[in-house]
């Protein structure tokens, strides 16, 4: 057993980690922390749930000092992830006087401007950070460590140019760390251009494959909700996540679940920040059982006690599937992934099987479908219709 004590971490960090209740480092932590503490550039390639936050977080807390300006910048793809990484970093900074802040869009800029003047560590989404750079309300000249967390997702979300501008604003002699599920394409090119002899570290997830069961059901598109409701009622589960590919999908499924008296809530990228954070917090606390969400809204979120993942739609990108299933079967617990596949999902499913040949996804025996409430209550239909009137037709192709 390899202990945190062997990683050359300061006593302050060892105490903070022990307060978090972690007994031993995960693989990516074991492999990257020593390199990060030595000041090396590191590429960590590993999927959700491998413990990356603590890996770079420890390096940052170790190297940042009170009242020396912004010394570390972590770029993340979503607001939720910014909040989550900030919270974890604050826990890691226990007993050390550091101002650690999250910066993202969708909320007022003025409090951020004030906070940026006194912060030592900043976790940010690229768009809003660039906004601050343009307004000259952030000083990036003291930055010693720059982290790109979930780099592949930042590329996918179209942040690449923002990210490059931000990188260029930081001192050249900084340390650069990139974490990504895959280092293909543009993420690779960023690494080549902005990193100094990076060490590449691959790590497996904390998910134990022997504890994870994956099944699929074939069904026609218009019976998907019947199947979902039936399975949700039949399966003995703790917390459940249901993934949809579109915003509209999450709204529709959310309504059907409510209509069938299943305690649930939905989140997607179109909802305002406060609503999303509140919903996630309530889910965290177990106030409702089923979270319906898109990939973007759920990115990087880690919640204990998720026993079931449903893919109401199959993701087009196999990598997204891996992220989705990474939320269950963590740390020795069991998990079940249920894929609901209609002919519309066939292509995505085929691509998944081809990409991850070692996944064992067995066909499940479809239960006898009890009748469910399919209809959205009348007044909601009316409400929806009036809201949609006058919208551009393009809005119908909602993003995630």
The binding track of 321-340 with respect to ligand ADP, each residue x by CB under 6 A or -, is --------------------
Tell me which stretch binds ligand ADP (CB under 6 A): 50-58, 117-125, 185-193, 266-274. 50-58
User: Is the Cβ of residue 91 or residue 213 nearer to Mg ion in the bound state?
Assistant: 91
Structure tokens that stand for 286 in this block = 């177990």
Distance of CA 229 to the CA centre of its chain: 26
Nearest to 61 by CA among 163, 3, 144: 144
- Which of 13, 30, 32, 52 contacts ligand ADP by CB under 6 A? 52
290 forms beta bridges with 240, 264
Q: Among ligand ADP, Mg ion, none, what does residue 57 contact (CB within 5–8 Å per kind)?
A: none
- The residue within the footprint of ligand ADP, chosen from 14, 22, 115, 305 (CB under 6 A), is 22
Instruction: Name which of 52 and 266 has its Cβ closer to Mg ion.
Output: 52
- Picking from 321, 320, 262, 260, the residue whose alpha carbon sits closest to that of residue 291 is 262
26 binds, among ligand ADP, Mg ion, none (CB under 5 to 8 A by kind): ligand ADP
Find the binder of Mg ion among 40, 52, 268, 400 (CB under 5 A).
Answer: 52
| Shortest Å, Cβ 15 to ligand ADP | 15
Residue 200 has φ and ψ, to the nearest 5°, of: -100, 130
Per CB under 6 A, does 224 bind ligand ADP? no
The answer to the question of residue 342 lying near ligand ADP (CB under 6 A) is: no
The reply to whether 153 sits near Mg ion by the rule CB under 5 A is no
26 counts as binding ligand ADP under rule CB under 6 A = yes
Residues 270-309 contacting ligand ADP, CB under 6 A: 302
Binding flag, residue 48, ligand ADP (CB under 6 A): yes
Cβ 92 to ligand ADP shortest distance, Å: 10
How would you label 361-388 residue by residue, b for 16+ Cβ within 10 Å and e otherwise? beebeeeeeeebeeebeeeeeeeeeeee
Q: Does 25 bind ligand ADP (CB under 6 A)?
A: yes
Q: Is residue 338 classed as helix, strand or coil in its secondary structure?
A: strand
242 phi/psi in degrees, rounded to 5: -115, 120
Determine contact, residues 232/256, Cβ cutoff 8 Å: no
CA distance 245 to 269: 11
Neighbours of 202 (CB within 10 A): 13
State the first-to-last Cα distance of the chain, in angstroms, to the nearest integer.
42
Chain residues in the site for Mg ion (CB under 5 A) = 52, 300
Chain residues in the site for ligand ADP (CB under 6 A) = 22, 25-26, 29, 48-54, 302
């Amino acid at each position: 057993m390899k202990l945190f004590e062997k990683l050359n971490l300061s006593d302050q960090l060892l105490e903070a980690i022990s307060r978090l209740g972690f007994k031993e480092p995960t693989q990516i932590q074991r492999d990257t922390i020593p390199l990060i503490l030595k000041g090396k550039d590191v590429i960590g390639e590993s999927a959700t749930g491998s413990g990356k936050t603590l890996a770079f977080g420890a390096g940052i807390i170790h190297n940042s000092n009170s009242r020396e300006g912004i010394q570390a910048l972590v770029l993340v793809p979503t607001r939720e992830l910014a909040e989550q990484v900030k919270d974890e970093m604050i826990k890691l900074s226990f007993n050390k006087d550091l101002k650690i802040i999250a910066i993202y869009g969708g909320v007022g800029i003025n409090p951020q401007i004030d906070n940026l003047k006194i912060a030592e560590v900043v976790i940010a989404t690229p768009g809003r950070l660039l906004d601050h750079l343009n307004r000259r309300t952030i000083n990036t000249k003291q930055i010693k460590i720059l982290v790109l967390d979930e780099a592949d997702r930042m590329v996918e979300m179209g942040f690449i140019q923002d990210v490059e501008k931000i990188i260029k604003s930081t001192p050249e002699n900084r340390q650069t760390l990139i974490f990504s599920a895959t280092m293909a394409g543009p993420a690779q090119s960023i690494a080549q251009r902005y990193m100094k002899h990076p060490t590449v570290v691959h790590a497996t997830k904390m998910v134990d494959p022997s504890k994870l069961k994956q099944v699929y059901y074939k069904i026609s598109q218009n019976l998907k909700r019947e199947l979902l409701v039936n399975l949700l009622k039949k399966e003995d589960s703790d917390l459940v996540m249901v993934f949809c590919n579109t915003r509209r999908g999450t709204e529709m499924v959310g309504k059907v679940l409510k209509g069938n008296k299943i305690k649930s809530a939905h989140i997607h990228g179109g909802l305002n920040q406060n609503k999303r954070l509140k919903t996630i917090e309530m889910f965290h606390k177990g106030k409702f059982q089923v979270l319906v969400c898109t990939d973007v809204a759920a990115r990087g979120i880690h919640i204990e006690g998720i026993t079931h993942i449903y893919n109401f739609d199959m993701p087009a990108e196999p990598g997204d599937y891996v992220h989705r299933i990474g939320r269950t079967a963590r740390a020795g617990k069991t998990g079940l992934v249920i894929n609901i596949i209609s002919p519309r999902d066939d292509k995505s499913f085929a691509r998944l099987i081809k990409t991850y040949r070692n996944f064992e996804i067995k066909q499940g025996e479809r239960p006898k479908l009890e009748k469910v409430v399919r209809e959205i209550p009348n007044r909601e239909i009316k409400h929806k219709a009036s809201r949609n009137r006058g919208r551009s037709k393009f809005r119908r192709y909602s993003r995630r």
